């Protein structure tokens, strides 16, 4: 159980949640530390590395150039669409499988071994197989994204569906609610916090899956943009791509946190923060 996001995410507070909590006294040390890191990076690169290596000043100068570059925008759009499409498919199928696992012991017994097993597998290992199956195409990228993300969602939804309070189900049964209705109107909403935690995990993995697939298969996208530019010694341009990916990662965290708070105010994930 502990390998789901719950163990490390929801119960304890998440990093993004903490960053979002306002602490007026924290700004100064954070600012100073950030400045120190950037200065150190700049100085080390200037002193020891060849001119093409990315450093803060040149990366900042590259930002306007990169974000107006149509090639970059196209690459960005392509990756974004693939991740969105993959995540949408994952969310629907993963939730259905997860609900089935959580509410039916038979289903759980039959497929849990496989879900756990695939989840423990380093996901990028399937790339050579997917390149054989789907060719060097964007189909292989979608498949990689789905494979990378689906097990996180399934496991979390299954845990969530299993932890629905018994009383809810008893009430539903005494009102003769049909099975499907109980599932969609009671089990699903009750396992929402788990689903969101799974989604946070899955989104990160989907992003990694997309980038790795683009590296491996040489399909156009943000990952390939980074690969191509760093190969041709345009490190600054490539690094803007990395910044965007990092922003994505952080953005997903913040989004999930925000929606947990907004739509599930009863679910206090930040209780532990001192």
Partner 1 sequence: MTDVNQAIRRYAPFWVSILAGIALWEIAGRSTSKAFMVPFSGTLVRLWQLVSRGEFLTQLYDSAQLFLTGFLLALFIGAPLGLLLARVRILRIGIEPYLMILYATPMVALIPFILSMMGFGFAPKVLVVFLFTVFPIVYNTVEGARSIKPELIEVAKSYRSTEWSLWREVMVPYTLPYMMTGVRQAIGRALVGMIAAEFFLSSTGLGQLIMGASQDFDTAGVFACILVIGLIGVGLTRLGLNIERHFARWRQ
Query: 236 with 259: CB under 8 angstroms?
Result: no
Query: 148 with 208: CB under 8 angstroms?
Result: yes
How far apart are the C-alpha atoms of 82 and 80, rounded to whole Å?
Answer: 5
For partner 1, the binding residue among 12, 57, 58, 177 (CB under 8 A) is 12
In the stretch 115-154, what mask flags binding to partner 1 with x, by CB under 8 A?
-xxxxxxxxxxxxxx-xxx---------------------
Sign for the pseudo-dihedral over CA of 244, 248, 251, 253: negative
Task: Single out the residue of 152, 153, 161 nearest to residue 189, CA to CA.
Answer: 161
Q: How many residues bind partner 1 (CB under 8 A)?
A: 68
Kindly state the smallest distance separating residue 92's Cβ from partner 1, in Å: 24
For partner 1, the binding residue among 66, 183, 197, 212 (CB under 8 A) is 212
For partner 1, the binding residue among 11, 21, 26, 92 (CB under 8 A) is 26
Does position 47 interact with partner 1 (CB under 8 A)? The reply is no
Kindly state the smallest distance separating residue 15's Cβ from partner 1, in Å: 4
Task: Single out the residue of 216, 252, 245 nearest to residue 79, CA to CA.
Answer: 245
Q: Report the interhelical angle of 70-103 vs 105-120 (nearest 10°).
A: 140
| Cβ-proximal residues to 153 (8 Å cutoff; 6+ apart), any chain | 90, 91, 94, 95, 98, 195, 198, 199, 201, 202
Query: Looking at beta carbons only, is 84 or 250 nearer to partner 1?
Result: 250
For partner 1, the binding residue among 59, 155, 164, 238 (CB under 8 A) is 238
For partner 1, the binding residue among 80, 89, 111, 186 (CB under 8 A) is 111
Would you state the structure tokens that stand for residue 65, as one six-digit string?
């150039």
Kindly state the smallest distance separating residue 211's Cβ from partner 1, in Å: 5
Task: Single out the residue of 248, 257, 256, 240 nearest to residue 208, CA to CA.
Answer: 248
Q: How far apart are the first and last CA of the chain?
A: 27
Does position 80 interact with partner 1 (CB under 8 A)? The reply is no
Q: Report the interhelical angle of 105-120 vs 138-162 (nearest 10°).
A: 130
For partner 1, the binding residue among 60, 92, 246, 259 (CB under 8 A) is 246
| Cβ-proximal residues to 182 (8 Å cutoff; 6+ apart), any chain | 169, 172, 173
Query: Looking at beta carbons only, is 99 or 240 nearer to partner 1?
Result: 240
Which residues of this protein are in contact with partner 1, per CB under 8 A? 2-3, 7-8, 12, 15-16, 18-19, 23, 26, 29-30, 32-34, 37, 49, 53-54, 109-111, 113-114, 116-129, 131-133, 204, 207-208, 211-212, 215-216, 223, 226-227, 230-231, 233, 235, 238-239, 241-242, 245-246, 249-250, 252-253, 272, 274
């Amino acid at each position: 159980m502990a390998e789901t996001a719950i163990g490390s995410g929801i119960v304890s507070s998440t990093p993004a949640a903490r960053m979002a909590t306002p602490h007026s006294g924290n700004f100064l040390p954070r600012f100073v530390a950030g400045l120190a890191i950037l200065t150190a990076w700049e100085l080390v690169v200037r002193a020891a590395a060849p001119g093409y290596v990315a450093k803060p000043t040149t990366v900042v100068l590259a930002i306007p150039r990169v974000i107006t570059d149509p090639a970059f925008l196209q690459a960005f759009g392509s990756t974004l669409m693939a991740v969105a499409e993959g995540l949408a498919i994952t969310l629907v199928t993963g939730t259905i499988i997860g609900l089935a696992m959580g509410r039916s012991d038979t289903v759980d017994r039959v497929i849990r071994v496989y879900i756990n097993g695939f989840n423990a597998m380093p996901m990028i290992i399937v790339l050579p197989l997917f390149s054989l199956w789907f060719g060097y195409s964007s189909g292989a990228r979608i498949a990689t994204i789905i494979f990378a993300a689906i097990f996180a969602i399934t496991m979390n939804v299954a845990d969530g569906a299993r932890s629905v309070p018994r009383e809810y189900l008893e009430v539903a049964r005494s009102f003769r609610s049909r099975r499907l209705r109980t599932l969609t109107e009671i089990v699903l909403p009750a396992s929402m916090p788990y689903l969101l935690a799974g989604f946070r995990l899955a989104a990160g993995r989907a992003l990694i899956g997309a980038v790795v697939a683009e590296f491996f298969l040489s399909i156009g996208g943000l990952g390939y943009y980074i690969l191509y530019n760093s190969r041709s010694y345009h490190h600054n341009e490539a690094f803007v791509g990395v910044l965007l990916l990092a922003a994505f990662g952080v953005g997903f965290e913040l989004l999930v946190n925000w929606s947990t708070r907004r739509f599930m105010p009863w679910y206090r994930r930040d209780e532990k923060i001192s």
